């Protein structure tokens, strides 16, 4: 016999009573298990007569051992009876216990119930896209810069866009600091490579001129002793190079080696189509996110903390893997950015909660609409994944569980319905 009471934050109390023959049998097994380990002078372990063993084994000891024999089955029976979807390992308390019966109280976090709001005809429109003439011209200028050559200025001073070859050394309170020195460093003015305010103060300097440049490090600078601090850089300009842009013509286009693009007109057409596709992808992504935001707004969900924490764990682990691919350990990243694990988890947690809410709403839509996934759809998805990762479809089937594919496709159907 069991009862279920849902409390706050999708956590409830499952109370299960075990009595009768089942409880009596559990006590017998418990007694035999304890007696089997009993060691009494004159008897080998496990050979102590039952009558004598009873003198050494307390009733409470037997009852508590008996709980171990019935708890798992009692939990599963209660979960099945009340059709509960557990999302975390439950905790167990004993409400009452004696020779006749035990009442087990399981505190269980369950998948929250979702009462769907409106999920169709949401009134959200996808943004239209267009590629402007100015954007195409900017791509032509970018191509010019890509093949530009640097020419030494014999006369004149540093201008925005020039490359100045400099020596520099930084001082804080008159003392040189580590990492603040460089020689013959080619700095493109306007690139934003150095501390804000540094490059602008080079403008107007001439070759072999020396100047003190005063700047303030950003508050979030990775070196704590310099963060937010005013410093002075002693800078000498050795050489000034100006950028010589090639003429925009068919020869420039040919240098880019773009397949089937050989003229300026063909390049402009290529850029227009490429940018259009890019903007369409952006617009579709924004449209999808707007729809998902509206779905969550229409269906408030009380998300259990444990679901958010599990999702956060996954996001942090993915982040660690991406950092590792860049050649950094997670600890090194924390040191370089001045963050700790708690700060990073706090950032990830916001995204995690949003993801869980979206997933719960989409699951509810898929369930209400009774979406099914055919074998052909599953195979098509395996092939799509295989094509995306340049793998054999059979290998993908080995690596990706079919249930996960079905789950993803059902959620995708829910999104498509909301976007329709």
pLDDT in tens, 327-359: 888 888 887 777 888 889 999 999 999 999 999
pLDDT in tens, 200-253: 999 999 999 999 999 999 888 878 888 899 999 999 999 999 999 999 999 999
Q: Write down the pLDDT at residue 42.
A: 60
Give the confidence band of 179 by pLDDT, cuts at 50, 70, 90.
confident
Helix/strand/coil for 393: helix
CB 97 within 8 A of CB 63: yes
Q: Any long-range contacts for 315-320 (C-beta under 8 Å, 24+ apart)?
A: 315/348, 315/351, 315/352, 315/355, 316/344, 316/345, 316/348, 319/344, 319/348
The CB-side HSE value for 240 (13 A sphere, CA atoms) comes to: 22
E strand or H helix at 346? helix 341-368
Q: Write down the pLDDT at residue 54.
A: 75
Q: Looking up tokens 């789950």, which residue turns up?
A: 407
For the domain covering 149-244, report its CATH number.
Answer: 3.10.50.40
Q: Any long-range contacts for 25-32 (C-beta under 8 Å, 24+ apart)?
A: 26/66, 26/67, 26/69, 26/70, 27/62, 27/63, 27/66, 27/99, 29/66, 29/69, 30/62, 30/63, 30/65, 30/66, 30/68, 30/69, 31/57, 31/62, 31/65
Q: Would you say residue 50 has pLDDT above 70?
A: no
One of 3.30.70.1050, 3.40.1010.10, 3.40.50.1000, 3.50.50.60 is the CATH number of 2-109, namely 3.30.70.1050
For the domain covering 264-419, report its CATH number.
Answer: 1.10.3120.10
Instruction: Write down the domain spans for the chain.
Output: 2-109, 149-244, 264-419
pLDDT in tens, 276-306: 999 999 999 999 999 999 999 999 888 888 9
Q: Write down the pLDDT at residue 57.
A: 80
Taking residues 105-121, report their average pLDDT: 94
Q: Would you say residue 142 has pLDDT above 90?
A: yes
Q: Please indicate whether residue 39 or residue 221 has the higher confidence score (pLDDT).
A: 221
């Amino acid at each position: 016999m069991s009862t279920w009471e849902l409390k706050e934050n999708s956590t409830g109390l499952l109370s299960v009573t075990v009595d009768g023959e089942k409880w009596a049998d559990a006590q017998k097994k418990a007694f035999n298990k304890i007696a089997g380990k009993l060691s009494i002078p004159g008897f080998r372990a496990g050979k102590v007569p039952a009558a004598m063993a009873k003198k050494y084994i307390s009733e409470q000891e037997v009852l508590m051992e008996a709980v171990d024999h019935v708890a798992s089955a009692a939990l599963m029976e209660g979960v099945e009876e009340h059709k509960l979807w557990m999302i975390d390992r439950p905790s167990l308390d004993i409400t009452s216990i004696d020779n006749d019966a035990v009442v087990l109280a399981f505190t269980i976090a369950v998948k929250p119930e979702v009462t769907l709001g409106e999920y169709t005809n949401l009134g959200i429109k996808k943004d239209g896209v267009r590629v402007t003439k100015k954007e195409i011209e900017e791509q032509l200028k970018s191509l010019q810069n890509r093949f530009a050559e640097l020419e030494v200025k014999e006369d004149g001073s540093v201008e925005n866009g020039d490359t100045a070859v400099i020596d520099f050394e930084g001082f804080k309170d008159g003392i040189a600091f580590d990492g603040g020195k460089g020689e013959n460093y080619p700095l493109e003015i306007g690139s934003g490579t150095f501390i804000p305010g540094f490059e602008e103060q080079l403008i107007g300097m001439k070759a072999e001129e020396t100047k003190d440049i005063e700047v303030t490090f950003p508050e979030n600078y990775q070196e704590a002793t310099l963060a937010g601090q005013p410093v002075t850089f002693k800078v000498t300009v050795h050489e000034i190079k100006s950028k010589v842009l090639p003429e925009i013509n068919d020869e420039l286009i040919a240098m880019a080696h773009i397949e089937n693009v050989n003229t300026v007109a063909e390049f402009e057409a290529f850029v227009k189509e490429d940018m259009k596709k890019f903007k369409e992808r952006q617009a579709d992504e924004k449209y999808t996110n707007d729809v998902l935001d509206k779905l969550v707004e229409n269906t408030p969900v009380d998300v259990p903390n444990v679901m958010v924490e599990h999702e956060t764990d996954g996001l942090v682990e993915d982040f660690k893997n991406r950092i590792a691919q860049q050649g950094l350990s997670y600890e090194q990243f924390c040191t370089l950015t001045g963050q700790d694990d708690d700060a990073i988890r706090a950032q990830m947690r916001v995204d995690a909660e949003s993801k869980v809410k979206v997933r719960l709403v989409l699951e509810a839509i898929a369930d209400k609409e009774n979406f099914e996934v055919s074998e052909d759809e599953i195979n098509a998805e395996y092939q799509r994944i295989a094509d995306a990762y340049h793998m054999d479809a059979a290998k993908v089937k080995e690596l990706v569980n079919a249930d996960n594919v079905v789950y993803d496709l059902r959620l995708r159907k829910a999104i498509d319905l909301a976007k329709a």
